[in-house]
Structure 1
């Protein structure tokens, strides 16, 4: 009789997800999102060996850059990361390409198809292509039509299209865009994404809630008095006036990023960790959500706009003085609103959502304030006892705080609030 031994290395390899060869085509590659977010994220994935070796990135925009110019501009955006790992950049850089493309010109799409075939041969990407729409939302529909007309979405198994937020200006335009996209590709090829969901700290909301028995039993109206969700930025509109004038803070932040955090914070536990299960529970939250005063929304919703400020040494322009902004613009750069979720878990608990540009501090967080103790037995070192709070820090200083009362040192019985802190940086580096 012989014992059967299993090689643990082989078991581990079988459990690793095999990533197919891939060419990522980024439309709008000359824009802010590509050099600030997309390329740095892809480079980090490459350093973690989360990308296949047969991988290519093709940047596309109307600017007449060459491959070398595109690589040089991306290198400047990644100066700090490259300094930490120059060898990784050399290898990663070999997979960067650029092709001048205007999605409205048929000849450009034909040339794009030929360039993709060249990259397939050079990088062995096997015609697996993802088209990422990092362009103005006005071009999502026409861009998809152009790709479909050029035959670049014909293979439903090897081609896909990624559409960033915002998906339409309102419900009617979102439905129209959805019809256009579904006429260009099959549903399994279409990915409507919110990049905020890629943040570790946003994903951590689910883990914190559903992997710890100490939180979920008190995650309801019986113990929580209010929930605040904040996304504040210190920067102004910068070079995004063309987009921001048509969007504003409400469409740019509230209807996607803040709404996603609201849904993750308020949703019921899914039956299993699968995309559709999570989506269904999030949808139930949004169906039950309402403004605190729907008859008179101005009483529970505030819109504002940043004006000139700063100091004589460091003046800051107001929104209406920014390049490309209408001098009489009423586009909001700040929004604050009060919501309720009419279900058994959250009935009567106010949810406060707020976001703004040119704020005093850069901060994204979810704050759950618990109900006060029914009887105050002890004197407080402050103005009064502080309610317990769980603060989920999305960015910066990613992590979480739990605020509670303890006895202040001394002969008397006085309480004072302290923080128990978790930091991603200290725990994971």
Structure 2
């Protein structure tokens, strides 16, 4: 017995020595360094702050004394420019000339660029497994003139670098105007009659940050009522475009879309914010829902009647209207049949709301938008008596302002 124990101990010691000798030590240790696949940027990229050459095959440090008139993209490290009035002014000029600006860090360096500017900032969120979301990874921002006003597009991603940088670059290239760098805003007469004028688009993606559950994408449109005949108020329409791409579609995981949550809170920041209209309301047993939002003359201080209308499909989906006029809150829950095709595949919802704010108070035309998704997966084969598994709501919230 004693001999067997001795042999056993010797075997362990010999094995340990073998493992130690086989493992590199000292200067022979080589750690695997992840290789970042750089973006082959066909559009010139300039940068301010940390060198972004690790992300792009070609990147040029911005010279503040130069005025670049050809289309390009500017990548800005916010901490580098926030305390420099010269650099902030350069960022402002780039935006006003139509150049897409990608900001790494706080987006406040692009806020206040011009009067009446659309600006969205991610202010809160909740990811899988209780992960708090307090800030975005990158912001992309661009403007261009339309009908005598500046309209804007903004991109936000919470994905990790370098993926978020790649997403922002791709967004910038897709939205880059051929005449970027030479834009001049010229005063033009507005079209006659009251109409809803496009002002901005908010693009957001959770990227791969919520893997294996799914991905949340947003492309919400914002409009302003022009020629409204009112000297007291301004009205804005919010046309939500909220898309869920479930994990089953993306990564062949078992997670499907179960619920989608949306709310627009008109008075979250400003007690004078007013919910004028919203749609849809609760549905049951329908496959398509219509949305018509706007203002009617004589109702809620409106001087004109003008609406926007659209529709979207709700196959195996039930819409629950959870809005409350007393709280100036438009709110919906889309209950999606996770065991049907609509749960396993990409699905988009498009509710909307009309908001009213005092006309003279530019700094207070601000509201909150919330977008969320709950995912579900069926029980495993060895637990057929169990119910489906559900995630917590994964969500993001934005502070939206119009100058």
Higher relative contact order (CA 8 A, sep 6+): 2
Q: Which has the higher strand share?
A: 2
Q: Which has the larger radius of gyration?
A: 2
Q: Which has the higher helix share?
A: 1
Asked whether the two chains share a fold, i.e. TM above 0.5, the reply is no
